[in-house]
Amino acid sequence: MRFNRDTTKMKKIIIAIDGFSSTGKSTIAKQVAQHLGYVYVDTGAMYRAVALFAMENGYINSESFDVQTLINALPDIRLQFKYNQNLGFAEMFLNDTNVEKQIRTLEVSQYVSRIAAISEVRSKLVEQQQKMGQERGIVMDGRDIGTVVFPDAEVKIFMNSSAETRAQRRFEELTKKGDHVSYEDVLKNVQERDFMDSNREDSPLVIADDAIEIDNSLLNRSQQFEKVLGLIQNKIL
């Protein structure tokens, strides 16, 4: 399925893609945004950047987490997406430094759910995310896009697959980048993040009442793309 690329005849909408970690949210969101000529926003990268900031400044480690100091430092955190023409998507910049590679490590993954559970962090980032979508024509992926950031989004999709499937995908992604990790450690991280994301007090990960759930365990990227485009078609034509 492909749409006429004359986007001037299409209604601009908000497409919210939520789901557990490593379900391929970013992959499908990038594909859809590029196909429709929409802006793509990876909200997970924003939380990862805050986690990296906390790590670099000694606010969080395996033994302690100085929540209040991080909250006090939030005004010092500047996040910006800058489009990379060669890559075809925007990269995350933290205080004017490209941190796209650093935020994708397993070490950052181990802390990001704890960072995302802080209400003051969520409030700051949700406000930024809502501003990004004021003009519509946006695809945003994360954990609470369809429930908190854009509860009125025209299309809401919830991506899912088994923890084992997601861990294998993440393991292959990290090893391909040269990271030295074990499948067992990746699976443990996926399971821990699932629990923390689903049980945090502020904006826990839940499926929006009007979201369509897609289990992509047995879908390849092409099949997944066609399925999602089919859901979007009636909303924009």
Collapsing DSSP to helix, strand or coil, 170 comes out as helix
Pair of tokens at residue 211: 């979201």
Pair of tokens at residue 177: 């980048």
**Domain 11-232: which CATH class?**
alpha beta
pLDDT of residue 236: 83
pLDDT of residue 2: 59
pLDDT of residue 234: 81
pLDDT less than 70: residues of the chain: 1-9
Find the helix or strand (DSSP H, E) in which 212 lies. Answer: strand 212-215
| Residue 191 vs residues 109, 118, 153, 184, 208: alpha-carbon distances, Å | 12, 20, 28, 11, 21
Place of tokens 């790590």: 55
Reference 136, options 12, 5, 17; nearest CA is 12
158 φ, ψ to 5°? Answer: -120, 115
70 φ, ψ to 5°? Answer: -65, -45
d(CA 120, CA 30): 28
Instruction: Provide the residue ranges of all domains of the chain, joining segments of one domain with +.
Output: 11-232
